[in-house]
């Protein structure tokens, strides 16, 4: 399988490239150094030259919080960049499968703690979620109109090795950074809100399994299928690190969802997806890495 990976130098993309190469696949990586999806001529040239069997599209502005500060930049990176890629595929390749990184941020907030299936209403309430839904809809529309296949993987809360701290980013590196620096952890609301954390290694494997299942199309959740409260997450991180954090509570923030847990049965049935890294194991590994890389 010959693959092209956009966002190859990013957190998830770098893991995916490593997994593909370890499995003996030919990989053409496109990161910021090799090409930006907003540079349409360069992107088109790369796709035409590579003639890949599969394109894994992970290049994106992937931080919901940052999208509040810069909605237009988020739109350009995510929607315009995806359209550039789809046009290049349409014009220069045939029978190419596009596996695109989408997001649970597309979903409307869940009214209770029931697992979210793919037919849950998509009513995003952040610019980031809107941009990811637009990416997905464009990708599936192109698949119907032109000679390409498309699979959209809706990631939930991805974490793991090499995930860097960013104030707008995922809660795990934020908490890890603050714990390692002796800073206070801020928990918004009462901490009983739930999230579905999935290890980056499981996400990489899901991408490859989806790519190897030809004839597949549509959108699929990629998650652990387990709900973890923020309070329990802090407890697990305390156990993994041996650090007793200082904690303060603040009121809920606009755009924060109360409950988030995925139903992963569709991905399991379609391409045999099953998460293999439990959160306790993943956090122990991550905190050991963070001591050297986040401190």
> Considering 128, 142, 159, 165, which one is annotated as catalytic?
128
> Which residues fall within 8 angstroms of residue 242, CB to CB, at 6 or more apart?
none
CA 27 – CA 97 distance, rounded (Å): 14
Strands 194-195 and 228-229 turn out to be antiparallel
Strands 148-155 and 218-222 turn out to be parallel
Q: Among positive and negative, which fits the CA dihedral 45, 46, 51, 57?
A: negative
Across the strands, what pairs with 26? 2
CA 64 – CA 217 distance, rounded (Å): 26
The verdict on whether 128 is a catalytic residue reads: yes
Contact at 8 Å (CB) between 118 and 220?
yes
Q: Residue 137 has what DSSP assignment?
A: H
Largest Cα–Cα distance of the chain, in whole Å? 56
Continuous segment of H or E residues that includes residue 194:
strand 194-195
Our measurement of the distance from residue 99's CA atom to the centroid of its chain's CA atoms, rounded to an integer in Å, reads: 12
Backbone angles phi, psi at 220, to 5 degrees: -140, 140
Residues forming the active site: 128
């Amino acid at each position: 399988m010959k693959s092209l990976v956009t966002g190859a130098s990013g957190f998830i993309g770098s893991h995916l490239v490593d997994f593909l190469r370890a499995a003996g696949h030919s990989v053409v990586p496109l990161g910021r150094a090799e090409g930006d999806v907003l540079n349409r001529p360069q992107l088109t040239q790369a796709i035409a030259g590579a003639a890949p069997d599969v394109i894994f599209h992970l290049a994106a502005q992937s931080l919901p919080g940052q999208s509040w500060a810069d909605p237009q930049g988020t739109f350009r990176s995510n929607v315009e960049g995806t359209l550039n890629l789809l046009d290049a595929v349409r014009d220069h390749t045939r029978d190419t499968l596009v596996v695109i990184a989408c997001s649970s941020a597309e979903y409307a907030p869940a009214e209770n703690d029931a697992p979210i299936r793919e037919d849950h209403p998509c009513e995003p309430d952040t610019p980031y979620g809107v941009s990811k839904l637009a990416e997905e809809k464009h990708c599936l529309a192109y698949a119907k109109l032109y000679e390409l296949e498309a699979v959209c993987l809706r990631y939930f809360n991805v974490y793991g090795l090499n995930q860097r701290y960013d104030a707008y980013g995922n809660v795990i590196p934020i908490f890890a950074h603050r714990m390692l620096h002796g800073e206070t952890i801020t928990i918004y609301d009462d901490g009983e809100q739930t999230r579905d954390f999935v290890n980056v290694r499981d996400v990489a494997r899901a991408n490859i399994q989806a790519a190897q299942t030809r004839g597949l199309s549509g959108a699929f959740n990629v998650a652990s299928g387990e709900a973890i409260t923020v309070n329990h997450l802090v407890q697990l991180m305390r156990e993994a690190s041996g650090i007793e954090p200082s904690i303060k509570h603040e009121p809920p923030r606009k755009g924060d969802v109360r409950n988030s847990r995925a139903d992963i049965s569709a991905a399991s049935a379609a391409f045999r997806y099953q998460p293999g890294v439990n959160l306790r194991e993943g956090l122990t590994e991550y905190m050991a890495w963070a001591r050297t890389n986040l401190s």
